[in-house]
Amino acid sequence: MKTVNGERSTVNGNSRLVVSILTLCVVASLRLSAQSIAITGGTIYPVSGPRIPNGTVVIQDGRIVAVGANVSVPAGATHVDATGKWITPGFIHANANAGLGVSGLGAFQEGGVQGEINPSFNPAEGIDPAAFAIPIVRTGGVTGGVLMPGGSFFPGQAPAVNFAGDRVEDMLVRRNAAMVLDLSENSKGAGGGSRAGTMARIRRLFDDALEYARRRADFHRAAIQPLSAPAKELEALLPMLRGEVPLAISANRRIDIENALRLKREYRLRVVLLNGVEAWQVAKEIAAAGVPVVLEPNRDIPSFDGLGARLDNATLLREGGVDVVIAQGDPGGERNLRYAAGNAVRNGMSWDDALRALTILPASTFGLGDYGTLEAGKVANVVIWSGDPFEFSAIAEKVYIKGREQPLRTRETELRDKYRALPPPP
């Protein structure tokens, strides 16, 4: 039976839906019981421990069941010879966009809504599992991502996904992996024109959400003064205010970063910094607060939102003890996440730290504990590379998501093959 993952159902006819469901059930049970893969001979970078030359990774039922130098290959397992290859966990893009609309086309984006205060917005149901950007992202060894909403002061919630699956439900790993707040220059308008006004508005919003939580009954009897946002928005803030969900704060200027740390202290929040162009200036304070920073390592162009932009931001933050998560800025270029890591190394970060910045750290930062390392029990998101994954010379040869090998054919490779000879054959 053909069960190549990622392909559309080929079942025809009126009973397509029913047949599809039946087929899915049958295939799923067959596949799950039989899907055992042993990758041998490669150098394994488990992230959770030192690299393992000539190691074996065994995958069963979508999970990693064994990793090591002296692991026996189970009988009946599909054997993949990875001699000379590098094996890493699938990379997790902490500032992802793929699936939220058609490529980078502005008018077709799904990652944000109008208005300023949108904590209840979650773009999950705007994700298109058939978006052609998704297979392209996979070719870069990116198996998962945190889809960051944007476009407003309080853009909403960020779902975490695997970049494989026919339905949103198949893709979702965590529906609300973070609440996003934009504290950059963009948000001055929301504060009436001053950063100080923005901070005052945030505090009032948080205070109102907490008061709403304490006095729901009064609120519904209208026995409470008007609150600064509709109830559904205040309600949506509560998991974050209880510390169950991190608040991902986009801030670049040093004073914005310090304001983010103030919010963390005052409301006892879990905070993640996004972008953090001048974060290197306050590395010690960020480290002391236990706040990870998600950044793009190549941002060095000064603006009044971050005059102190510099290429070794990631390096200086690491030296200050901050957990650094590496992101790729260009929404059309998420497959290039690995090169962002390579550039962080170019600018002084250690190779091991750069690998952690694409794997275990985005996983721990966004509550994705089943991902980010190659260890028994983890979800089998695994990539086999032809060489150093941060190098242009290397390629992701095999990409597994939840233990299933993913097709690496893309719209781009099909266009290439169509026009390889000119004029193209009819």
Chain contacts with another protein (rule: CB under 8 A): 103-106, 133, 278, 281, 298, 300-304, 307-312, 315, 330, 332-333, 335-336, 339, 342-343, 345-348, 390-393, 395, 412-413, 415-416, 419-420, 422-424
- In terms of CB distance, is 43 or 347 closer to another protein? 347
Kindly report whether the peptide bond that precedes residue 74 is cis, defined as omega within 30 degrees of 0.
Answer: no
CA separation, residue 387 to residues 87, 157, 392 (Å): 9, 36, 10
- In terms of CB distance, is 4 or 301 closer to another protein? 301
Question: What letters, b where the CB count within 10 A reaches 16 and e where it falls short, cover 89-100?
Answer: bbbbbbbbbbbb
Cβ atoms of 251 and 225 closer than 8 Å: no
- In terms of CB distance, is 242 or 411 closer to another protein? 411
- In terms of CB distance, is 136 or 379 closer to another protein? 136
Cβ atoms of 185 and 305 closer than 8 Å: yes
Shortest gap between Cβ of 225 and another protein (angstroms)?
A: 40
- In terms of CB distance, is 107 or 217 closer to another protein? 107
Shortest gap between Cβ of 226 and another protein (angstroms)?
A: 37
Shortest gap between Cβ of 69 and another protein (angstroms)?
A: 28
Shortest gap between Cβ of 302 and another protein (angstroms)?
A: 5
Element (H, E) at 181: strand 172-182
Shortest gap between Cβ of 252 and another protein (angstroms)?
A: 12
- In terms of CB distance, is 62 or 333 closer to another protein? 333
In angstroms, the CA 249 to CA 260 distance is 7
Q: Is 425 helix (H, G, I), strand (E, B) or coil?
A: coil
Shortest gap between Cβ of 343 and another protein (angstroms)?
A: 6
Nearest to 154 by CA among 187, 108, 132: 187
**Angle 144-149-154 (CA atoms, 0-180°, nearest 5)?**
140
- In terms of CB distance, is 31 or 195 closer to another protein? 195
SS3 for 271-317 is: EEEEECCCHHHHHHHHHHCCCCEEECCCCCCCECCECCCCCCHHHHH
Say how many CA atoms lie within 13 Å of 73 toward its Cβ: 13
Shortest gap between Cβ of 413 and another protein (angstroms)?
A: 8
In angstroms, the CA 333 to CA 400 distance is 21
Shortest gap between Cβ of 106 and another protein (angstroms)?
A: 8
341 burial level (CB within 10 Å; 0-12, 13-18, 19+): buried
Cα four-point dihedral sign 246, 172, 294, 228: negative
Please tell me the total number of residues recorded for the chain in this structure.
426
Query: Following DSSP, what letter does each residue of 193-216 receive, concatenated?
Result: SSHHHHHHHHHHHHHHHHHHHHTH
DSSP-derived letter for residue 102 is: S
Cβ atoms of 137 and 148 closer than 8 Å: no
Shortest gap between Cβ of 406 and another protein (angstroms)?
A: 18
Cβ atoms of 179 and 119 closer than 8 Å: yes
- In terms of CB distance, is 7 or 412 closer to another protein? 412
- In terms of CB distance, is 120 or 250 closer to another protein? 250
Shortest gap between Cβ of 281 and another protein (angstroms)?
A: 8
- In terms of CB distance, is 21 or 105 closer to another protein? 105
Shortest gap between Cβ of 100 and another protein (angstroms)?
A: 13
- In terms of CB distance, is 88 or 281 closer to another protein? 281
